Amino acid sequence: MQLMEETAADWWEVEALYDLCFAPGREALSSYRLRDDVAPVAPLCLLLRDRDGVAAAIRFWPVRVGSAETLLLGPIAVHPTHQGEGLGGWLMRESLNRAAGLGWSRVLLVGDAPYYSRFGFEQRGDIHMPPPTNPARVLGLALVPGAWDGIAGEVTKFSEKSEK
């Protein structure tokens, strides 16, 4: 298994993995509206490749929570033939370590708390994703102590640089 940054040449193969792993209509979710016309954070978009192709992939996007620039994690997927091998955990740990190394303070995602809590994510009732997101699935991780202190409100599309 080879870990690498996603390149433009990988885009459609990664999209095919997401199509395989997620229900039809995934792009109708509110988190996708936050990504429209926004470039992903390229150094954090990672994939694991084996001889057959992309086995797992993760992407990150800049968003704002209030006025604070925040990373939005997702999607992350593991090919069905590789599930249960720890590839998702590998991508999570590696990408979160890289995010901290690049100076990011906080990460947000929409997902299952029982799964993502193992990586330190906690429910963020004070953070509001665009509807129809289930508030119980809005999770945050502080990459540095206190990164979520005083950060609350609406999640909006990223438009220009601000403090991380």
Residues 129 and 104: beta-carbon distance below 8 Å: no
Q: Check residue 162 and give its pLDDT.
A: 42
Q: Check residue 164 and give its pLDDT.
A: 42
Is residue 163 in a domain?
Answer: no
Look up the domain containing 23 and give its range: 2-157
Number of domains, the chain: 1
* Beta-carbon contacts of residue 132 (< 8 Å; ≥ 6 apart): 30
Read off the pLDDT band of 35 (50, 70, 90). Answer: confident
Is residue 59 in a domain?
Answer: yes
Is residue 164 in a domain?
Answer: no
Is residue 162 in a domain?
Answer: no
Closest CA to 124 of 60, 62, 45, 70: 70
Q: What is the mean pLDDT of residues 39-67?
A: 95
Q: What is the mean pLDDT of residues 56-60?
A: 97
Q: Check residue 103 and give its pLDDT.
A: 97
Percent of the chain with pLDDT over 70: 91
Query: Which pTM does this prediction carry?
Result: 0.90
For 118-135, the pLDDT digits (tens) are: 999 999 999 999 888 889
Is residue 143 in a domain?
Answer: yes
Distances (CA, A) of 12 to 45, 66, 74: 14, 32, 16
For 87-121, the pLDDT digits (tens) are: 999 999 999 999 999 999 999 999 999 999 999 99
Is residue 13 in a domain?
Answer: yes
Q: Write the CATH number for 59.
A: 3.40.630.30
